[in-house]
């Protein structure tokens, strides 16, 4: 154990503290308690745990939370009724429900004004097109998916984002590897990081893609380049000063010998991961789990 590369461990709660204070400050300006409606229509134990944690977090931080447990065929009406209910401020739907394209339809049923997950088409379009606000006055931010946003908040906390650079370019100079290209987390995360100025290698079982805004950030939004056949994580990871993994399943193990010295490593997979610890970069290599 003494020969292992040292790393610095940071409690995830330290990151959350600052964000929670921002939430409390925002709540103090309101004249009522915001109300989040959760919609659960499956028997997935993980979805119920997620719903329970949503309720716990809401109640601990001054939000009202209601869980509607309904049949699959009643989800659409539940969403539409909530859209028109002035007492409901936000809607979160626990997927999968039908586990097919019907779920995409249900995502579109949620009102843009009440979509707290950023799953409606407008928010997804804005995310990939690098459009950050809903209005010309830049007062209403476009909602981002929660897990990619959480990774960004962690990178900000670790000072990977450079506050000296202009907003939108603050990852310029960083090369990042994202091991996961799911449509839910991996691809959106790679797009967001590239739109913020990073060169991003997106790795999955089909190969490696490079997300970038071009040399000198000439392009307004990211573009995607297929890397040559035969490229894998072995070629991508050693080039990167940040490596982010999120492979589902407990059989995948990242080869830490691929990490360059001083790299920051983030793992957002739910398997074999402590929910309490992260590791920030150290003078040598580094590794953290969330």
Residue-wise pLDDT for 192-216, tens only, equals 999 999 999 999 999 999 999 999 9
Distance, in Å, from the CA atom of 279 to the CA atom of 264, rounded to the nearest integer, reads 8
Among residues 266, 128, 123, 122, which one has the least CA distance to residue 191? 128
Inter-residue contact 118 to 150 (CB < 8 Å): no
Cis peptide before 44 (omega within 30 of 0): no
- Using 50, 70 and 90 to split pLDDT, how confident is the model at 12? confident
284 pLDDT higher than 70 = no
Inter-residue contact 10 to 279 (CB < 8 Å): yes
Distance, in Å, from the CA atom of 25 to the CA atom of 23, rounded to the nearest integer, reads 5
Q: Residue 4: what pLDDT?
A: 57
94 φ/ψ angles, rounded to the nearest 5 degrees: -90, 105
CA-only gyration radius of the chain, Å: 20
**Structure-block tokens of residue 113:** 């004004």
- What pTM was estimated for this model as a whole? 0.88
Distance, in Å, from the CA atom of 132 to the CA atom of 213, rounded to the nearest integer, reads 16
Tens digits of residue pLDDT in 47-63? 899 999 999 999 999 99
- CATH 3.40.50.720 is the classification of domain 147-280: yes
- Using 50, 70 and 90 to split pLDDT, how confident is the model at 43? confident
Q: Residue 277: what pLDDT?
A: 39
DSSP class of residue 197 equals T
**Structure-block tokens of residue 37:** 């409606």
Q: Residue 6: what pLDDT?
A: 65
| Distances 200 to 29, 61, 143, 151, 160 between C-alpha atoms, Å | 39, 35, 22, 14, 14
Q: Which residue intervals of 28-94 are DSSP H helices?
A: 45-60, 75-83
Active-site entry in 58, 146, 177, 265: 146
Higher pLDDT, 13 or 7: 13
Q: Residue 184: what pLDDT?
A: 87
Q: Which residue intervals of the chain are DSSP H helices?
A: 12-27, 45-60, 75-83, 101-109, 121-129, 146-157, 186-195, 233-236
The fold adopted by the segment(s) 31-117 is Rossmann fold (3.40.50)
- Using 50, 70 and 90 to split pLDDT, how confident is the model at 270? low
Region 225-236: mean pLDDT is: 96
**C-alpha 171, offset from chain centre:** 16
281 pLDDT higher than 90 = no
CB proximity list for 251: less than 8 A, separation 6 or greater: none
Q: Where in the chain is the domain with CATH 3.40.50.10860?
A: 31-117
- Using 50, 70 and 90 to split pLDDT, how confident is the model at 253? confident
- The percentage of the chain sitting over the pLDDT mark of 90, rounded to a whole number, equals 75
Task: Please confirm, yes or no, whether 240 is among the known catalytic residues.
Answer: no
């Amino acid at each position: 154990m003494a020969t292992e590369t040292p790393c610095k461990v940071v409690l995830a709660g330290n990151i959350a503290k600052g964000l929670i204070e921002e939430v409390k400050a925002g709540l103090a300006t309101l004249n009522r308690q915001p109300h989040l409606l959760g919609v659960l229509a499956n028997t997935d134990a993980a979805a119920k745990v997620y719903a329970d944690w949503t309720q716990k977090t809401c109640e601990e931080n001054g939000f009202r939370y209601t869980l509607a447990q309904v049949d699959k065929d009643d989800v659409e009406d539940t969403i539409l009724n909530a859209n028109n209910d002035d007492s409901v401020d936000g809607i979160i739907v626990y997927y999968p429900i039908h586990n097919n394209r019907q779920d995409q339809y249900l995502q579109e049923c949620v009102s843009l004004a009440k979509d707290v997950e950023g799953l409606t088409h407008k928010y997804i379009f804005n995310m990939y097109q690098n459009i950050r606000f809903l209005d010309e006055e830049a007062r209403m931010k476009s909602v981002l998916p929660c897990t990619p946003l959480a990774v960004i908040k962690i990178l900000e906390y670790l000072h990977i984002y450079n506050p000296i650079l202009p907003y939108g370019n603050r990852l310029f100079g960083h090369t990042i590897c994202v091991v996961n290209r799911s449509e839910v987390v991996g691809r959106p995360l790679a797009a967001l990081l590239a739109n913020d100025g990073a060169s991003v290698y997106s790795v999955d079982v089909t190969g490696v893609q490079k997300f970038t805004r071009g040399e000198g950030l000439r392009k307004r939004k990211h573009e995607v380049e297929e890397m040559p056949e035969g490229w894998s994580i072995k070629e991508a990871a050693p080039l990167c000063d940040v490596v982010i993994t999120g492979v589902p399943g407990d059989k995948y193990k990242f080869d830490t010998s691929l990490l360059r010295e001083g790299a920051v490593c983030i793992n957002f997979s739910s398997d074999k991961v402590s929910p309490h610890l992260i590791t920030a970069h150290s003078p040598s290599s580094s590794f953290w789990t969330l």
